[in-house]
Chains A and B, each alone.
Chain A
Amino acid sequence: MMSAHQPSGPAALGDSRLLSVRGLRIVSRIQGEERVITAGSDFDLAPGETLGIVGESGSGKSMTARALIGLLPTGVRADGEVTYRGRNILALPERELRRLRGAELAIVFQDPFTMLNPLMRCGAQIVELVRDENGKPLGRHARRAEAARRLAEVGIADPAVADAYPFELSGGMRQRVGIAAAIARDPQVLIADEPSTALDVTTQREILARLRDVQRGRGMGLILITHDLRVAFALCDRVLVLYAGSVLETASAEQMEAEPQHPYTLGLLLSDPPVDRRLSHMTAIPGSVPAADQVADMCAFSPRCQWRVEACDAGAPALIEVAESRWSACVRVPVIVPEMLAVKSEALAARADREGAAADLPAADVEGAVAAARGLEKVFGDSRQSGRRVAALKGVTLEIGEDEAVGLVGESGSGKTTLGRCLVGLERPTAGTVLVNGVDTGHQGRLSGGERRRLRRTVQMVFQDPYSTLNPVRTVGATLAEAILAADEHARDVRSAVAELLERVGLPARYAERKPVALSGGERQRVAIARALAVRPRLIVCDEPVSALDVSVQAQILNLLTDVRRELKVSYLFITHDLAVVRQVAERVYVLRQGEMVEQGATSDVLDNPQHWYTRKLVDSIPSSDEAWLARAEAEQDSEELERAERRA
């Protein structure tokens, strides 16, 4: 169901506003303590318009979404005005709100794996509330027809999906079922809360295309909540930037991307690594995201802003109209815009001198390699339960040399994490060999205990989740001390060694006494890197080390990794799904798909000129504000739909 008309431009702010939010202030009260979640947001949504709300963790974007539909958790209260069709939603009694939900305002949640009732068939969930013209429940035939029709609308051609339970479907399909269920009663406004975050990059594109498709077909207003600025630019007409509970900027997507009118927006833009070049150094916003009430009486961004002056801390700045339908909450904006533009062009121009084409790379040298895998295979699952064997790796060969950063790219199910774990020794391969320092790790019986231990420590790992990467009952210092002593039992003066490690990763020495719960995500990841360095490894396997961090912090950690490598000449195996990130870190890259290596080479070659169709698809999946990006996706997905429907049957 594709429509031919163009998207509506920046909303004409007359009375044709669909949704109008003024002074939305969300506060939580738990056990007598009151905490601000958002300090007072203002924005509008016109009919048929797509508004993007972009924010990192703690920005209040998810709570804003919930406030709009009146589903705030207990203890959380919203004040202000949310006007829909002349009525203030926040002031409505619950019964009235219930009538609005689903029929006028709808929401799609982030995680497709938990959004649907696992014990109810998909079709039943979609048509649960659909009634005929007289308001009566539908008969069985009508229900089936309706379910099939709505599934088709979201791109699921196979009506048998209606009889399936959610656990029988893939993540992308579940998300589509969720969308179909949310719009089943033809609402005017759809709020999509991070609809593609939990999905693979290639699936993400499809879902976003579907959303746009559905929106245009029905003329709905769409509010897209996301942390990814690129996604917002790709899909939305207008974008609103939320930070620590305050709206900092509102503008059309094109204008904001070309010329941000707030230092934070600029910082966010620059924190996203470009995929077409490697920068020598990423421009990172220092510090980490504060809690909303810590910055309630000042400009929320000022503690981290390089253009900060006294006036910025005097009080929360209001949104001022800096141009036609553009608002910014920065008091210095007219003055600093030229400087900001200069920073932007400088940052993007800082190309790395070392981009490395295939010709420059040393020949692959197995014996000299720090670590290598030869024909690695790994199968998971019980031999007794035949249906459940999963081949994670189907014969993969790679090597990492001295002082070399190698990228390993793939989506979920590619086997990239399994490969990394095999190199570190956390998994044992079913077949093939792993060589560390030239020694086959499968035959360690011949080595002495000391040699074996030394072998283990040649390769270390940094994990993805910063919140479970450190033992919560131990102090940072104790964790690092344990690592230091593991490397060298007779180490003297462990305390200063710990302090040295902390400094190297950019943390003050006094952090040694803190427990992980007192550290932010970025800080915890730094400690994890310090721990990996403590044993002086030759290779560090980084498994999606920045994926779970806020965007504004990612760049910091990437810079740290680059700096550490320069100082210590340690090698990296950088595992990620994000091509832009891998470009910044690795000279060579391997691309994995479903346990097989499909392409490899110098990063610049592989990304600028992909040979394999899958690599090309990955590159294409990076969100781009180019109109064609979503349009191409729609064309491609119909053929894939058929393929997948056949597989499910």
Chain B
Amino acid sequence: MRARLIAIFLIRRALALLVLLLMISFLVFGLLYLAPGNAIQVLLGTHPASRSVIAALTAKYHLGDSFFEQYLFWLKGAIHLDLGVSIQTGQTVTTLIGGRIGVTIFLGIYAFLISVLLGVPGGVIAAMRNRTVADRAIVGISLLGVSVPAFVSGVFLLYLLAIDAGWFPIYGPGTGFVDELWHLTLPAFALAIGVMALILKLTRAAMVTVLEQDYIAFAQSRGVSPARVIIRHGLRNALGPIVTAGGLILGVVLTGAVLVEQVFALPGIGSLLITAVGTKDVPVVQGFTLLAAAILIGANFLIDLCYLFIDPRMTTGRAAI
């Protein structure tokens, strides 16, 4: 019975998200026409305009068709992972992105791990020692972390540990796993400062609320061990709001990655976006945006899935009686 409710919920959710993705793809496609100049000018970029080139472009992008038909054509291509050709470099967008996404993924996961490993325990400890000096110190650090833009922390780390102390390389992604780890450490930490602060804030807030609840005191009064009280009764119940913010966290990671890649000159998709924006390379921008949207929406769906396991009240659609 519950399994059926779960299935219905998931299917409805998946459909809703799919519709959302389609709507976004429509907007993304429309970017071509929202850019200044008409479509041909945008697609030409800095290339000289000759009649044959224009004719070729018109044919290739079906510019003679109606807006909606062009959209469908583009969408079909997107589903087959064909996102067009970069105006600037002539490579396919897919190749461009594919070649650079590795660095960004490495960076993102690295930073995420650091943030979770520092942020969650930090938030739990701060909540346990609520309103003591330790708590104030932790909250202070987290407040600072939220106030520092990712590129600022990048610059500081770059200056202090790479240029001044020379412990880390100044730019580039490195080759091979270990070398890449070393090269990406500073960028990952720069990115992680902001994300960690956010995770810490969320964890602490959720834990403080949970620890004030009667069932925590009840568990303690029955003699449940402190470790189990904190983890099974405490953190387990605090997971809900933290996991729900997963989409937000991913967004912050993505944004921070774009900035950090600039500071450390890393060839990831973030810097690709910036270059593309600078040169008005619309197909690349479209490709990036569609990819980012797909990732975010996919992540949200996974989060909804996780949430079902975290909180059984969801399936009946009802909170407490």
Contact = CB atoms under 8 A, between A and B. Distances in A.
Q: Do chains A and B touch in the complex (CB under 8 A)?
A: yes
A128 B224 contact: yes
A182 B215 contact: no
Contact of B214 (A102, A114, A168): A114
A109 B220 contact: no
Contacts of B316: 168
A444 interface: no
B76 interface: no
A185 B221 contact: no
A53 B175 CA distance: 74
A114 B221 contact: no
B222 A165 contact: no
A99 B223 contact: yes
A129 B224 contact: yes
Contacts of B215: 114-118
B312 interface: yes
Nearest to A121: B312
A579 B225 CA distance: 45
B218 A184 contact: no
Nearest to B311: A119
Interface string B196-238: 0000000000000000011101111111111000001100110
A106 interface: yes
A467 interface: no
B321 interface: yes
Nearest to A31: B131
A109 B236 contact: no
Contact of A118 (B130, B220, B222, B313): B313
Given A115-B215, A118-B215, A107 B313 contact: no
Interface string A457-486: 000000000000000000000000000000
Contacts of B320: 113, 118, 166-167
Given A119-B311, A167-B319, A385-B317, A109 B223 contact: no
B4 interface: no
B8 to A, nearest CB: 13
A284 B309 CA distance: 55
Given A115-B215, A167-B321, A107 B224 contact: no
Residue among B223, B236, B318 having the largest count of chain A Cβ atoms under 10 Å: B223
B219 to A, nearest CB: 7
A111 B214 contact: yes
A118 B223 contact: no
A71 interface: yes
Contacts of B312: 119, 165
A390 to B, nearest CB: 12
A262 B296 CA distance: 70
Nearest to A385: B317
B222 A181 contact: yes
B237 A118 contact: yes
B220 A71 contact: yes
A98 interface: yes
Given A119-B311, A165-B313, A167-B320, A101 B220 contact: yes
B221 A106 contact: yes
Contacts of A128: 219, 222, 224
A167 B214 contact: no
A114 B213 contact: yes
B223 A129 contact: yes
Contacts of A245: none
A116 B218 contact: yes
Contacts of B220: 71, 101
Contacts of A406: none
Given A115-B215, A117-B215, A117-B237, A102 B223 contact: yes
B213 to A, nearest CB: 6
A102 B222 contact: yes
A123 interface: no
A263 interface: no
Contacts of A181: 218, 222
A18 interface: no
Contacts of A516: none
A582 interface: no
A181 to B, nearest CB: 6
Contacts of A343: none
Contacts of B213: 114
A135 to B, nearest CB: 14
A170 B321 contact: yes
B217 A167 contact: no
A69 interface: yes
A103 B213 CA distance: 22
Contact of B222 (A119, A129, A385): A129
Given A114-B213, A118-B320, A101 B221 contact: yes
A106 B223 CA distance: 9
Contacts of B130: 74
B219 A117 contact: yes
A182 B221 contact: yes
B231 to A, nearest CB: 12
A103 B318 CA distance: 35
A109 B222 contact: no
Interface string A365-398: 0000000000000000000010110000000000
B222 to A, nearest CB: 4
Given A119-B312, A167-B319, A182 B223 contact: no
Nearest to A98: B223
Contact of A185 (B222, B232, B321): B222
Nearest to B233: A117
Contact of A115 (B214, B233, B310): B214
B73 to A, nearest CB: 38
A476 to B, nearest CB: 32
Residue among B215, B232, B233, B321 having the largest count of chain A Cβ atoms under 10 Å: B215
Interface in A549-591: none
A63 to B, nearest CB: 13
Contacts of B311: 119
A352 B130 CA distance: 56
A178 interface: yes
A109 B214 contact: yes
Given A114-B213, A115-B215, A69 B221 contact: yes
Contact of A109 (B217, B225, B313): B217
A376 to B, nearest CB: 25
A317 to B, nearest CB: 34
A115 B214 CA distance: 5
A106 B224 CA distance: 12
Contacts of B310: 119
Nearest to A104: B223
A109 B220 CA distance: 12
Given A117-B233, A117-B237, A118-B237, A101 B218 contact: no
A98 B225 contact: yes
Contacts of A71: 217, 220-221
A71 B215 CA distance: 13
Interface string A41-64: 000000000000000000000000
B134 to A, nearest CB: 13
Interface string A176-187: 001001101100
Contacts of A120: 232-233
Interface in B269-321: 310-313, 316-321
Interface of A: 69, 71, 74, 98-103, 106-107, 109, 111, 113-120, 128-129, 165-171, 178, 181-182, 184-185, 385, 387-388
Given A106-B221, A167-B321, A168-B316, 15 more contacts: A71-B217, A71-B220, A71-B221, A74-B130, A99-B223, A100-B223, A103-B223, A109-B214, A116-B218, A129-B223, A129-B224, A167-B318, A167-B320, A169-B321, A182-B218
* Closest 9 pairs between A and B when the two form their complex, measured CB to CB: A102-B223, A102-B222, A114-B214, A101-B223, A167-B320, A117-B215, A107-B221, A115-B214, A115-B218
20 contacts: A71-B221, A101-B220, A101-B223, A102-B224, A106-B222, A107-B218, A107-B221, A111-B214, A115-B218, A119-B236, A119-B310, A120-B232, A129-B222, A129-B223, A129-B224, A165-B313, A167-B321, A168-B321, A170-B321, A387-B317
